Amino acid sequence: MLHEAEFWVAVAFVLMLAIFGYFGVHRTIAAALDNRSARIRKELDDARRLKEEAQSLVAEYRARRQSAEREAQEIVAAAKADAERIAVEAKAKMEDFVARRTKSAENKIAQAETQAVADVRAAAAEAAATAAASVLSQTVKGDVANGLIEKSIKELGSKLN
């Protein structure tokens, strides 16, 4: 039994464990594992903290985006309202301009009608005076004719004015 390989492997293993125990290798291994555990715990805490910071940043950016979208909608609504107001004002100004131009044109037409009537009356009166003078000069002769013509012309002039 002394020659069996498994026996000597078991004896060597136990002897190695005893030597490791004597020199305190188990404490070094435990300390290394504790250090590794502390480092992993610290990395997990850092990762958790970074995750929380990232989540708060995401929430903050979402809030900013929503605020920016609301502001953009308000700007668009204000621009539409301004455009509608400007359109209404422009329409009112255009209608006012057209009304003033129409009134001005109507006044000019009325003045032209009045002037045309006055011109026609003056032309008719002048034609009537010329015709009367011609008829009277042909029918009435002498001093009586000249007196009648002058009297008619004076009366006609005062009636026209």
| The pLDDT value given to residue 94 | 94
Quick check: 145 and 137 in contact, CB under 8 A? yes
For 36-45, 73-82, 148-157, which range has the lowest pLDDT when averaged over its residues? 148-157
Only one residue has tokens 């305190």, namely: 24
Residue from 159, 153, 154, 115 nearest 131 by CA: 153
pLDDT tens for 97-133 read: 999 999 999 999 999 989 988 888 888 878 777 777 7
The string of pLDDT tens digits covering residues 16-60 is: 988 888 888 888 888 999 999 999 999 999 999 999 999 999 999
The CA distance from 24 to 21, in Å, is 5
Rounded to whole angstroms, the Cα distance separating 26 from 44 reads 26
DSSP H or E run through 76: helix 25-139
From 11-20, 85-94, 124-133, the region with the lowest mean pLDDT: 124-133
Q: What pLDDT, on a 0 to 100 scale, did the predictor assign at position 71? A: 95
